[in-house]
């Protein structure tokens, strides 16, 4: 299928091509301002906003032109890829700009000074033609690796489809124990891993309470670090946030699956719930319902009711072990982190309890499957 043209994409959004191009340039400028604003005072005031130009080329996603002080971004990149991919290319070109205008170093295009600039700007030093996101690789790869434990995890998550609740919960409990054992074995080797980051979900102007509980679930039980990062929402023309998870590749694969599975599970259950006696409830009540499901599932995992024996277990002990290498990597990636607390809100306790009862019965199943016939993250209702 040929890529969508700028004009066709603009018509789909109810805009002219010129209006769409102007909005993309505005978004690029807003992202540039945000990224430059995160630099220290020593460097930030010396980096001046460039001219932004959209190009028709598909050969290069982005370039920095020092003579004209331009950052050029491919239109096809902006309309055919997720916005975070556009930002990744923008950061890369900002690193070239930084070398040219702040460091004023003459070197090969991707030399030591450029790599230092990438570290300051949290940019990917790879060439701008390599725009595949880690999540694209997760969708393409058919397996979680050759490690025997991770293969068993995949099989156990598939077994958790059992209609017999006790069997399904036992399979899920064993999968969690194996995930913990896999990570503790790696930690025992005492070496840092090649940690990677990816975004899950969609960018949003406002974070609903259930999204924060979902981030807590991933962080507490699936060996990833979670953070809400700043991003621009082009369709809204405003800044928002998106959830980024960081960890080992195998853990990212499992955590991203769990995230998508639960989001779809919540939507299916809410449609069923709101079509019954609870018909006519507002979106706020959907948030209460989703929070109920998540708190019920978290409570279930914390208490070991996912099929594990009562009392302290080897699995629980393993889960509590922290990956210090991941923590250090995360701190280097985000040296300045702010914790924001949301305002209190009114909650419908009845809807919350109904959600919790469903969360108590939630079992994650159909794990990462092999082969090209993988149906993806489909929820069997």
Tell me the pLDDT tens digit for each residue of 178-211.
Answer: 777 777 777 766 655 678 888 898 888 888 899 9
66-86 mean pLDDT: 88
Kindly tell me if the per-residue pLDDT of 138 is higher than 50: yes
With contact defined as beta carbons under 8 Å apart, do 294 and 210 qualify? yes
Distance from C-alpha of 49 to C-alpha of 69, rounded to nearest angstrom = 9
Closest CA to 293 of 357, 343, 248: 357
Kindly tell me if the per-residue pLDDT of 92 is higher than 80: yes
Cα separations in angstroms, 162 against 217, 258, 368: 23, 18, 16
Tell me the pLDDT tens digit for each residue of 205-243.
Answer: 888 899 999 999 999 888 899 999 887 776 666 778 899
Domains with residue ranges and CATH for the chain: 6-131 (3.30.2010.10), 139-361 (no CATH)
Is 75 or 43 the better-scoring residue by pLDDT?
75
Token pair in block for residue 352 = 């919350």
Percent of the chain with pLDDT over 90: 23
Distance from C-alpha of 4 to C-alpha of 10, rounded to nearest angstrom = 10
Enumerate the β-bridge partners of residue 100. Answer: none
Please measure the distance between the N-terminal and C-terminal CA atoms of the chain and give it in whole angstroms: 31
């Amino acid at each position: 299928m040929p890529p969508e043209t700028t004009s066709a994409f603009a018509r789909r959004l109810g805009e002219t091509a010129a209006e769409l191009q102007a909005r993309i340039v505005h978004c690029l400028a807003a992202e540039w301002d945000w990224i430059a604003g995160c630099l220290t005072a020593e460097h930030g005031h010396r980096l001046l906003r460039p001219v932004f130009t959209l190009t028709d080329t598909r050969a290069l996603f982005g370039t920095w032109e020092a003579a004209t002080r331009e950052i050029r971004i491919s239109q096809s990149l902006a309309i055919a890829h997720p916005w975070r991919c556009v930002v990744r290319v923008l950061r890369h070109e900002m690193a070239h700009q930084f070398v040219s205008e702040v460091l004023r170093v003459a070197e090969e295009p991707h030399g030591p000074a450029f790599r230092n600039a990438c570290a300051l700007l949290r940019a990917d030093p790879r060439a701008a033609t390599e725009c595949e996101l880690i999540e694209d690789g997760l969708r393409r790869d058919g397996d979680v690796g050759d490690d025997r434990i991770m293969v068993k995890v995949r099989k156990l998550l598939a077994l958790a489809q059992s209609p017999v609740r006790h069997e399904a919960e036992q399979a899920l409990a064993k999968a969690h124990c194996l995930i913990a054992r896999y990570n503790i074995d790696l930690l025992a080797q005492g070496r840092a891993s090649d940690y990677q980051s990816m975004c899950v979900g969609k960018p949003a102007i406002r974070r609903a309470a259930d999204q924060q509980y979902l981030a807590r679930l991933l962080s507490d039980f699936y060996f990833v670090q979670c953070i809400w990062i700043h991003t621009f929402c082009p369709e809204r023309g405003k800044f928002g946030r998106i959830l980024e998870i960081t960890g080992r590749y195998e853990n990212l694969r499992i955590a991203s699956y769990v995230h998508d599975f639960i989001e779809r599970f919540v939507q299916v259950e809410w449609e069923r719930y709101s079509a019954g006696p609870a018909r006519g409830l507002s979106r706020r009540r959907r948030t209460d319902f989703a929070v109920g499901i998540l708190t019920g599932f978290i409570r279930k995992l914390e208490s070991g009711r996912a099929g594990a024996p009562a009392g302290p277990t080897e699995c629980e002990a393993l889960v509590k072990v922290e990956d210090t290498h991941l923590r250090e990597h995360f701190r280097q990636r985000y040296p300045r982190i702010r914790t924001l607390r949301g305002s209190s809100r009114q909650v419908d306790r009845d809807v919350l309890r109904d959600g919790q009862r469903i969360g108590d019965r939630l079992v994650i199943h159909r794990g990462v499957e092999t082969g090209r016939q993988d149906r993806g993250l489909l929820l069997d209702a």
